[in-house]
Structure 1
Amino acid sequence: MRERADLIKVCEECDTVWLEGQPVSMDAYTDLDPYMSGFGKEPLWSNLVPLERGAQR
């Protein structure tokens, strides 16, 4: 997110979000809408800062 230093993974097809440290699986995920809403932001891709594909911290 532009105003935060959180590192998340987002599925471009279904807007599923995995927080840093979470395994990418259907057992542990959240949706982009409630995640962004929790910070008072609209769930828009323009509110995110993309990293290179496959890039990790």
Structure 2
Amino acid sequence: MDKDRVKGAKDQAAGSVKEAIGKVTGDKRTEAEGKAQKAGGKVRRKVGEAKDAVRDK
């Protein structure tokens, strides 16, 4: 498993938590930061998946 997959999953989870906190508190900035972190994590995870796929072939 590629380390980008792990870091991406971690960032996605942290972004989801941050987004939820922003929604609950009404803090639009925190909510937006969470969405951005979650999206970045998703991209990083996909990069790791692609690296794994190439390595496994």
| TM tier, smaller | under 0.3
Larger Rg: 2
Q: TM-score, normalised by structure 1?
A: 0.24
Give the structure, 1 or 2, with the largest relative contact order (CA under 8 Å, sep 6 or more).
2
Structure with a larger share of its residues in strand: 1
Structure with a larger share of its residues in helix: 2
Q: TM-score, normalised by structure 2?
A: 0.24
